[in-house]
Amino acid sequence: MTEDTTDAPREPGSQWYDNEAGPLVRPYAMTGGRTKPGPTGVRFDLIALVTLDAAAPGADDDTALGPEHRALVELCRPETQSVAELAAGADLPVGVVRVLLGDLLELGCVTVSRPVPPAQLPDERILREVIEGLRAL
């Protein structure tokens, strides 16, 4: 007869963590079941740059920000980062990071610089002519 380990005592909080799989908190729990960032419906591109506002709370501030929000704030503190970099740094799915960034944007903790659409970029021919003109000086 094998020993039943289902009734074996566990360490406190061990049911929320699996050594092989990592934390057992599902992404929808981190976002409160939301899948879109904020009521404004902001869309964060993977290459959008996120900059921390100077008035953003620190990691040890006792605010309404959750631990995932604070982790994103701390990742942005040293330098501006893209949405993709934040997702990788926080080890969170991009969809979750987008929802959390929407919260931080509405709270005024971060600013987002959207990438320039290719149609608005200057023509390569014009840039080459400018470079040639500068070399001629």
Report pTM: 0.62
> For residues 63 and 132, which has the higher predicted lDDT (pLDDT)?
132
pLDDT at 8 over 50: no
Strands 17-18 and 22-23: antiparallel
To the nearest 10°, report the CA torsion of 56, 43, 85, 20. Answer: 100
pLDDT at 95 over 50: yes
pLDDT given at position 7: 45
Mean pLDDT, residues 110-123 taken together: 78
pLDDT tens track for 15-50: 545 556 555 556 666 666 666 676 666 778 888 899
DSSP 40-106: TT----TT-EEEE-TT---TTS-SS--HHHHHHHHHHSSS-EEHHHHHHHHT--HHHHHHHHHHHHH
Mean pLDDT, residues 97-124 taken together: 82
